[in-house]
Structure 1
Amino acid sequence: MQRTTGIKLAVALTALLASTIVPTGAQAAGEMTRDRPATTADNGIPAMVDPTADLGAQTPGPEARWADSIYFTSQVKADGHDVGLLVHTINVPNGFGRLVSFAVTDVTTGWYKNYMLGVDPDDYHWSTTGLDISAPGLRWTGNAQKMSVSLTVPWGSLDVTLTSRGPVLYYGGTGVFPILGDTNYEYAFPDMQTTGTLTIDGKAQRVTGRSWLDRQWGPTPDDPSLRWTWMSLNLPNGDTVAIWDTLTSTGENSWATVVRRDGSHEVVAVEPVAERADQFWTSPVSGQKYPTRWRINIPALSTHLTVTITGTDDQEFAQGENGRLEATAAFTGTYKNTKVSGKNYVEMIGNWKP
């Protein structure tokens, strides 16, 4: 297996930022640190983010670990194979800077490759007025309804169109929540029709499928013990579930945001995810020890799922002793007492060394 990485990974800030408290709408509004345009979700809950305007770059906070992130994962068909895609860019202006990340997993054969590039400030542009991002090899434009993403790396390229279907998912029900005393903003387009072309080593393949896009910004607490697991689930009945499990030296907290087809939201507790993880794999590069199977229990939803890594266990962005897992997965079990199955992604961030 070949791997390509760009710069030494700053694990605690790459990819998504996680919540350790599930706020109510009133709590979230009370803890906002700056005025924001309020919109209204389909369920009547005041949304503290604007899905269109907030695709633009955010005004940086003063924190060294403040981050601005946009990220999507895809489950597509390409040349008859099941393929997972990941595209991510993050800006940490007071910290390690700007990164562009790309990964491809051929779930059918187990082939995997990734790429990560650190970008000079003069070569990185993210408009403050809308979704318009450019960096070496990357062009990302569009709006909340439709986006175009083109990305070129030394071993391949991706050129896709993402078209949003269904409601926006507002994490915590409002899109804003406290994280160990800091305020974070996050929302997702969990169902984006995806079409385009993936080229690997000169071979072009037509891709069709579905993507989940996450938009998040805010500071990450300076807690070296902070680790998290994130999972995205699109259920057969049209419900969408985003699961967070955060783990620190003082305890574990697991919760999920659910959005239904009509746009209504529900925030529910999840039984501790890390406690119910097994079948561990140890990275030969970073030394991180990641589970490859999880038992997910959500009592309020009468839900019991098994989530398992697919393709290959080694879907880690790593260099030296730093690493993060961004892996294709599949789930089976029951949701609201009904048998379900599907494809999803799992992310693990933090120091998971044994």
Structure 2
Amino acid sequence: MNNPHPTMVDASGELAAKDPEMLDSWWFAARLHDDETTFWVKIHATGLHGSCISTVALLRELDGHSSVRHVPEAIHEVALSATSFDVKTSVLAMSGDLDAMEISGDTDTASIRLSLRREDPVLYNGGAGIFPFFDGMTVQYSLPGLTTSGTITVDGVTREVSGRTWFDRQWAAAGSGPQAFTWLGLDLGAGRYLSVWDTVGDGTSWLTALKPDGTHTITRAQRTGGDGHWTLAIPDLDASLEITYRGLPGAGGPLYTGVCSVTGTLEGHDITGHGYTDSAGRTWERPVVHQLIPR
């Protein structure tokens, strides 16, 4: 797929690991289903200061089954390729290229094996893929609607699943804290995606909107609410979105990850969708300061 605008990031060439001292992140979140069950999945590997943190989380509807593993390891105990996309730790594995990926992860009670295929353009945050972030710059691009198939095994029972996965690739020089953010990645259907950043803490946000033809729009937004529900107003897109969110397993730590259901209007049309949220630090939902963790 051709890029419809200039960027500062070689998305295909930047999947490999960076300097071990940098913040380095490969973040996957998925909404999957079989004939009767919906699953939410997170598989995330983070490198920082010579260590690697792996997270695998699963939430199953409607029974609420959940499980999570969050494992820190020294960088010499894992495999992070500097020449290709190939990440292996004690609880997860990721590999492939920009158009096709394989990811897997294990909790104490569940095993996840997924194949991902790209059909949409790359979403470059800020349009160019690089933007100011607190005391430095961060690089972030997304593959927000990867077509997904595979299996999820819970307590020895294996189900074939399909759905969509959001992948974020992010890296930056390690900054000095305290730092905080709230991020939203929203899949609004029909190839429309929003990546929303709030680093102020009062709901004032900026976002990158991606259309099916690869067009990027960077504009402002305002988020209000809390306690499981937000309203996101985006004047330049004639959009008002109602977002209901809840935490994935393990969301009580320094980095909160939630899953979202979305309804509302966009450019004068009714929409429904889903998405994900991450937050860390001093927001009105989470009044505790933490060092920045990439996501």
Structure 2 length normalisation: TM-score? 0.90
Query: Structure 2 residue aligned with 1:247, among 173, 192, 200?
Result: 200
Asked if the contact 1:316–1:324 (Cα under 8 Å) also holds between the matched residues in 2, the reply is no
2:61, 2:254 → 1: CA distance? 21
State percent identity of aligned pairs. 27
Match of 1:74 in 2: 30
Structure 2 runs not aligned, ≥5 long: 289-295
5 Å matches for 1:1-354?
Answer: 42-44=3-5, 46-60=6-20, 66-78=22-34, 80-93=36-49, 97-219=51-173, 221-224=175-178, 226-247=179-200, 253-271=204-222, 273=223, 276-278=224-226, 280=227, 292-309=228-245, 313-315=246-248, 317=250, 322-351=253-282, 352-353=286-287
1:150-185 superposed Cα distances (whole Å, 9 cap, x missing partner): 223322211110111110000000011111241111
TM-score by structure 1 length? 0.75
Whole-Å separation in 2 of the counterparts to 1:299 and 1:137: 43
User: What residue is the counterpart of 2:291 in the other structure?
Assistant: none
Deviation for aligned residue 1:79: 5.1
- Please state which structure has a larger fraction of its residues in helix: 1
Measured in 2, the distance between the counterparts of 1:299 and 1:343 equals 20
Aligned-partner SS, 2:62? coil
After superposition, what is the alpha-carbon deviation per residue over 1:21-40, rounded to whole angstroms, capped at 9, x for unaligned? xxxxxxxxxxxxxxxxxxx9
SS in structure 2 opposite 1:345? strand
For 2:37, the aligned partner's letter is H
Distance, in Å, in 2 between the alignment partners of 1:307 and 1:134 is 34
Task: Please tell me the residue identity of whatever aligns with 2:250.
Answer: F
* Contact 1:42–1:264 (8 Å) recurs in 2: no
Counterparts in 2 of 1:236 and 1:327: CA distance versus 1, 3 Å: same
User: Which one-letter code corresponds to 2:254 in the other structure?
Assistant: G
Secondary structure at the counterpart of residue 236 of structure 2 = helix
Rounded to whole Å, the distance in 2 between the matches of 1:139 and 1:236 is: 28
> If you compute each CA radius of gyration, which structure gives the higher value, 1 or 2?
1
With over 3 angstroms needed to count, the CA separation of the structure-2 counterparts of 1:215 and 1:314, relative to structure 1, is closer
Aligned residue pair count: 285
What root-mean-square deviation, in Å, do the aligned CA atoms of Structure 1 and Structure 2 show?
2.0
1:303-344 per-residue CA deviation (whole Å, 9 max, x = no partner) reads: 0011002xxx4535267xx43321221011101111111111
Give the direction of change, closer, same or farther, for the CA distance of 1:259–1:210 in structure 2 (3 Å limit). Answer: same
1:232: Cα distance to partner?
1.3
SS in structure 2 of the partner of residue 122 of structure 1: helix
Aligned partners of 1:70 and 1:88 also within 8 Å = yes
What amino acid does structure 1 have at the position aligned with 2:4?
N
Q: Which runs of 5+ in 1 are unaligned?
A: 1-39, 281-291
